[in-house]
Every structure is written in C-alpha cells, then in structure tokens.
Amino acid sequence: MLVDSGFAMRGGQLQVKRLASGLVSLGYRVFLLAPEGSWLARRSPPGASLVPWSSRSDLDLRAALSLAIAAKRRGVPLVHAHDARSHAAARWAQLLGWRGTLVVTRRSCRTPRGGLKYRRGVARYIAISRAVEQSLRRAGVPRDRIDLVPSGVRSNLPRAGAAARKILRTLAGATQAELTIVAAGALTAEKRFDVLTEAAAIAGRWGLKARWIVFGDGPLRPDLEERARAAGAPVRFAGFFESAPSLLQAADLMVHPSESEGLGTAVLEAMAAGVPVVASRTGELQRLVPRAGGLTVAPGRPAELAEAVIALLSDSNRLSRARRDGPRVARRFSVERMVRGTVRTYKKALEMAKERA
C-alpha cells in the first residue's frame, strides 16, 4: 500500500506513480492512497487500486484511523509512506492498533524534526540520496535501517524535436535570436526562484540574449511575477504543465537554484536528455552536475548564478561535454533500478517483521 498526501504534482508524486506502475508490472497487488481529485489520484496507473485518502496535518487522527482501516480491510502486510504526513498517519495508525510493516521514503536532506517519529515504528527507511541518508542519521536513525534507493528518471531520451522547441520558445516568448533557459519546481521559498529572477535580470544587463521560463506553481507565484516585472527580468512563470518534462528537453540550458535538494529529479530528467545544467551546490547535485559537464554555484547568490549561466553558454566544449555526459550520468537513475531497489527494501522489512513475530 503506497500512501501520499500531496495534492499537486511534484517530484515525489511522480516517483510514487512510477513506483506503482513498476510494481504492477512485476505482478504485485498495489493499493494507492491519495487525496481525491489530486494529481496522483487522477493519474493512478492501470492495475493499481485507488483508495481516496487525505491528511490535514501530522496530528490528523481521522487520517490515521482511515489508513489503519484501509490496510486491515485489504489485508495489506506493508504500508509505504511517501511524505511526512503519510508517515505521521502511519505511526498514529500503529498506536491505534494497526500491526503491519511500515516503510518510509525520505526525500529531503533537511534534518527531520521529531525524533520519536523517526526512531520508532519504521521497519526501514528509503533515502533517495547520500545527503538524505546523512540527514536521517543526524535524526538518530541507525545506519542499518536505511536503504539508499535513488529516484528513477526516464533514460535514453531522444533530443527534443522541432515541435517541442517551437512550443517552448512560444511559451517563453523567445525570438529566434534568443536562447531558452528553463527551470522547474514548486514555487515555494526553499526553491529560491527569487534568486533565479534576479539572476535573469543581471544576465540580461550583462548582455545575455535569453528568455527564462519556470514550470511549476505554488503560493509564491504572484510575488515572483511582481519581482520579475519590477526587475525587468526576462522570466515567465508558466504554471503547471503536464508536458513540462518533455518541454525541458527542448531548452538550451536548465537552471536549478534550490537552496536544499535531496536529489533533484527535474535536473536528472534534463541531464537524461542532454540538456546542460547550472544548479545550486546542494545535496547530491553538487556531485552529479559537474560529472555531467554542468556548473554549480553557492545557493542564494544571483550574480554568481548569472555568471555561471553565461560562462556555460559561452563554452562550446563544455556544452558538448554536457550533451554527451548528461545522459550517461542519468542512466544510473533509471526507473527500473528504483523499482528493484524498493522491492528489496520491502523484502528486508517483511523479513525483519517475521523474525520479530
């Protein structure tokens, strides 16, 4: 039983969908608990049984009881929580009498708060990167209860065709003489799209002929749009696009300014398509981006970000290397490998439960 409380489509929800689809293809019976009307509920893969479920907070006992009842009625031996609220609901469900096995995926490299929540009741944790694993260990989770299973991205992607490039240029408002620079993510504080907006304005003043487009939505969108207007930044906030992953592949460059990132699947998707990347030096990206020919910068420094963007776009040798090495680096993060790694974690967790019984 896969559980996720998110309503919109973010990286975590995309991973849940890919995992559910992969498990179904391997012959597993999959139940998917997600909010009614959510992106994940609307995109539930064929073969997975959707169970409407939602949680308002970490203290939502109604959600915990609903989860416990759903698991008991369906005879589910294992629940896999994919975000903080579903993790909390599953822990409360245990206190309410549910006796199944709990696996939790952690995607953030911030040190989690609430030690008891993280140290008890969870058979095994899945960390999507070394940085996330280290954050769990700082919270007191023993190393032998953490499995490293990176997120999965589509590999061996073809270069974007003329149609995708035309759509992207139209959305960005780019002329034939201008490059297109993309970014993707929730418009929330930690993603630092305020830094991207300022960097775009600086790069424009320094002579870069480019249009920047950000795919994603969130509470900061009105403020970011006003910042862009006030600064004269050539940035458009396009909102949520179902086809955004395909459009990312049509860009000349991807920029990822986040101040904290567990892994950064949008960046990996861009790498897989051979799109050069400039990203913040955070989490696993500080190691992966240079290997793929891209550049990293300190988070929160718009002038440094603008300088790196111009430097990479001006270096034909490095651009060629990024287009060659990006797909090679991204191949290590295939969806198939993610699904197999998750199944191994399930087997370990169930074996541990059997030994305790």
Q: What is the pLDDT of residue 357?
A: 67
Q: What is the pLDDT of residue 116?
A: 67
Burial classification of residue 240, based on how many CB atoms lie within 10 Å of its CB (0-12 exposed, 13-18 middle, 19 or more buried): middle
Residue by residue, pLDDT tens for the chain (357 residues) are 999 999 988 889 999 999 999 999 999 999 999 999 999 999 999 999 999 999 999 999 999 999 999 999 999 999 999 999 999 999 999 999 999 999 999 999 888 886 667 878 999 999 999 999 999 999 999 999 999 999 999 876 667 788 889 999 999 999 999 999 999 999 999 999 999 999 999 999 999 999 999 999 999 999 999 999 999 999 999 998 877 777 888 999 999 999 999 999 999 999 999 999 999 999 899 999 999 999 999 999 999 999 999 999 999 999 999 999 999 999 999 999 999 999 999 999 999 988 886
Q: What is the pLDDT of residue 114?
A: 67
Three-state secondary-structure class, residue 3: strand
CATH code linked to domain 2-152+334-356: 3.40.50.2000
Annotated domain spans of the chain: 2-152+334-356, 162-332
Q: What is the pLDDT of residue 337?
A: 97
Q: What is the pLDDT of residue 258?
A: 96
Structure tokens at 159: 């270069």
Report long-range pairs for 9-14 (Cβ below 8 Å, ≥24 apart): 9/39, 9/40, 9/43, 9/240, 10/185, 10/186, 11/107, 11/151, 11/264, 11/265, 11/266, 12/82, 12/83, 12/105, 12/107, 13/38, 13/39, 13/40, 14/265
| CATH architecture of the domain covering 162-332 | 3-Layer(aba) Sandwich (3.40)
Nearest to 8 by CA among 52, 33, 42, 59: 42
Q: What is the pLDDT of residue 142?
A: 94
Cα–Cα distance between 19 and 150 in angstroms, integer?
12
Q: What is the pLDDT of residue 158?
A: 66
The vertex-44 CA angle with 193 and 39, nearest 5°, equals 30
Q: What is the pLDDT of residue 249?
A: 87
Do domains 2-152+334-356 and 162-332 share one topology? The answer is yes
